[in-house]
Amino acid sequence: MRTEPHPAPSGWRDGWLLAARASPSPNFGPRPARAPIDLIILHSISLPPGRYGGPEIEQLFCNRLDWEAHPYFQGIRGLEVSSHFLIRRDGELVQFVSCDDRAWHAGRSSWRGRDNCNDDSIGIELEGLEGETFAPAQYRILARLCQALARRYPIAHVAGHEHVAPGRKQDPGPGFDWTLLRQVTRWPADRFPTANLPSTQ
């Protein structure tokens, strides 16, 4: 009888966080050799836009979305995308791709002098609409997730999709509280897009 390996003491197994609900996506690939996984990219998503709590985000990332279920879906028909994690409004944490692999979330992008941010980043989607606020539970889970990632990978930067793809993307948007994330993670200011952070002096 085959037995499953014991979970790693850090709470990870092959790039999967054991505290998250796994929902494997087919939309991923290998990272380039020796790519430093040192960037977290934050996104926001709701499907259809402004509607929360349904299965559509998970269906999209797992290529199971019914394109006929809503008129909005016709505009994204055939899209094959993924993120490593999704944090729902109630704080549920879902993982779609191993963090050791390359998820398809950033697209054409550049940050800290490097292009193709999918190569060396971890994508986290927050259930929400750009320009609107996010739930307290989402910040709590996001902070714990960021800290768990930093214990496993050499995380040195956190940015929004709007920062790595300016002019093309606007999420998570002005409703996201970067100052709060900095406070709850207790990370230094130089890890964050400083234009969004008022001085704490």
Catalytic residue IDs: 125
Q: Which of 174, 170, 149 is nearest to 161 (CA)?
A: 170
Cβ atoms of 200 and 159 closer than 8 Å: no
Q: How many CB atoms lie within 10 A of CB 51?
A: 13
Q: Which of 102, 123, 108 is nearest to 30 (CA)?
A: 102
68-100 burial, b for 16+ CB within 10 Å, e for fewer? eeeeebeeeeeeebbbbbbbbeeeebbbbbbbb
Question: What span, in angstroms and rounded, lies between the C-alpha atoms of 62 and 80?
Answer: 8
With vertex at residue 123, the alpha carbon angle to CA 190 and CA 163, rounded to the nearest 5 degrees, is 50
Q: What is the dihedral of CA 171, 172, 174, 175, to 10 degrees?
A: 140
Sign of CA dihedral 89, 21, 119, 59: negative
